[in-house]
Amino acid sequence: MEQRNNLVLQGTETFSRGQLDNVALDNGSVVLDSVAGRYLQYGSYTTPEFAMPAFCNLNVSWNAHAPQNTMVEVRCRVYAGGSWTGWMSFGKWAPDYPRASISTHSDDGLIFLMGDTVTVALPGGGTGVQLQVNLSTNDDKVTPALRLLAAAVRPLAWDKQGGHPINRRLYLPEYCLSAHDPSFGRDMDLPLVMAALMNRWGEDILPEEVAYVMEDKTTGSTSNGAFAAAAAGCCGFPCWQAWMDLQDLREQIHDGCSVAVRIERRIRGQRDPIGVWMGLRGFGHDDAVLADYVLLNDPTADSDGAVNCTMAVTDFARCFTGRAIALRPKPRDTEANRPRRVSCDFVYSAEDDCWYLAQKGQRQLLPAEFSGWAACSPHDGVAHATTAHRTFRRMERTRTGGFRFSPEQTAAGGRCSVYIVDHTGTMQFAEVRLPAPPLSEANQSTAPSVS
């Protein structure tokens, strides 16, 4: 399936070729070794050294199950200029941990890691790659489990192949930036596409859940492709970054798998071309003009209904950077960290005129440092394909740890769903019925009722 520039490691046979230090193989995953029923605190797995075509960019991906109190750190080193670099870390990672990328460089500054990409600026590029994964736990009863490890390079001399034209359309949910959490700005495009890639396989994940479990605390953005693949892995989907040409993309669509692709294009309000993540959902042919075209989902469109778009293959080949994120359907027996959801009550306090989350009659006050997303979605009587297609309205957070509905929603009344997503991607949700709008001053009612 992969070209030589894309390397995907998974399964017991493949992992067994690497060096295991205080780790073991269990059901196709790398886990911490155990003694007398207790897991060791630290361990590492190191791959063999892999020869790669001369490259200028390297991207690394991993999928791991990391329960609370466990951690995964992925590192790489590059062979360039006749020697190996030191180990470069992509940051310590776990769904509940404040993930942060690390910027580092070689002594001469010609090989450097920024965010999710290693760049080799030496003449001749890099020609070798080695990966290392450090596992750790603070609870000797649980261990992280590495399920997939991948490396993808952009060759210096890339003989891109077009492959054979195909005519196939895949369903891919349409989500646009304007309908979702504006906290991350245009960088929200990647969580939108990742949510669509998973939801087409029957999930019902909100883009906000993806965004907050892949947020890079160093940059405060959701543009880190390595964290995006790890977030999908948390939900049980095999997912990795790749450098692909048209032939690779056509093979993915032929196999029934949509792909996230990075496009360099001009968008409204921007003078210079910028990178946009889009969902690739198929290829087609127009007999009228004898031309091939590409079917895409563009999250920068004005509305969900305008997300679907087409682009001539020639234009797509010119705009496509080669960066892609592949995602495969979830195996049935895969353990997943996400999505994590908690059902709550939503109670009204007349004393301070705001609403509070509650569990078993106890208020759950929002912490002062809360940095997530709080929104409500009115029930409109429409059967939406996914929850993410619904209309969301931001809610005001109060200093007392509660919430207030927007004046428009309070005036409209009716039944609403409330969604609170914190910085770890954990969601608290509740159903509430606001008072119906008063018909006259004589029968106004201010006491809300909760379903």
How is the chain split into domains, by residue range? 6-155, 168-327, 341-434
Give the fold, CATH level 3, of 341-434.
Answer: Immunoglobulin-like (2.60.40)
Q: Are strands 373-378 and 393-394 parallel, antiparallel or unpaired?
A: antiparallel
Fold agreement between 6-155 and 168-327 = no
Q: In this predicted structure, what is the pLDDT of residue 448?
A: 39
Q: In this predicted structure, what is the pLDDT of residue 424?
A: 87
Region for residue 126 given its phi and psi (left: phi exceeds 0; alpha: psi -120 to 50; beta: otherwise): beta
What are the phi and psi torsion angles at 293 (to 5°)?
Answer: -140, 165
CATH class of 6-155: mainly beta
Q: In this predicted structure, what is the pLDDT of residue 97?
A: 87
Are the CB atoms for 274 and 265 separated by under 8 Å? yes
What are the phi and psi torsion angles at 304 (to 5°)?
Answer: -55, -40
The Cα–Cα gap between 106 and 104 comes to 7
The Cα–Cα gap between 193 and 298 comes to 9
Tokens of 142: 């649980």
- The answer as to CATH 3.90.70.10 being correct for domain 168-327 is yes
C-alpha torsion sign, points 49, 50, 55, 56: negative
Are the CB atoms for 170 and 256 separated by under 8 Å? yes
Please give the chain's pLDDT, 451 residues, in tens: 344 899 999 999 999 999 999 999 999 999 999 999 999 999 999 999 999 999 999 999 999 999 999 999 999 999 999 999 999 999 999 988 889 999 998 888 899 999 999 999 999 999 999 999 999 999 999 999 999 999 999 999 999 999 888 999 999 999 999 989 888 888 899 999 999 999 999 999 999 999 999 999 999 999 999 999 999 999 999 999 999 999 999 999 999 999 999 999 876 666 778 899 999 999 998 876 568 999 999 999 988 889 999 999 999 999 999 999 999 999 988 888 889 899 999 999 888 889 999 988 888 888 888 888 999 999 988 899 999 999 999 999 888 889 999 888 888 888 999 999 998 899 999 999 988 766 544 344 333 334 3
Are the CB atoms for 413 and 377 separated by under 8 Å? no
Can you tell me which residue has the tokens 């942060």? Answer: 100
End-to-end CA separation in angstroms for the chain: 51
Does the pTM surpass 0.85? The reply is: yes
Give me the amino acid identity at 176: C
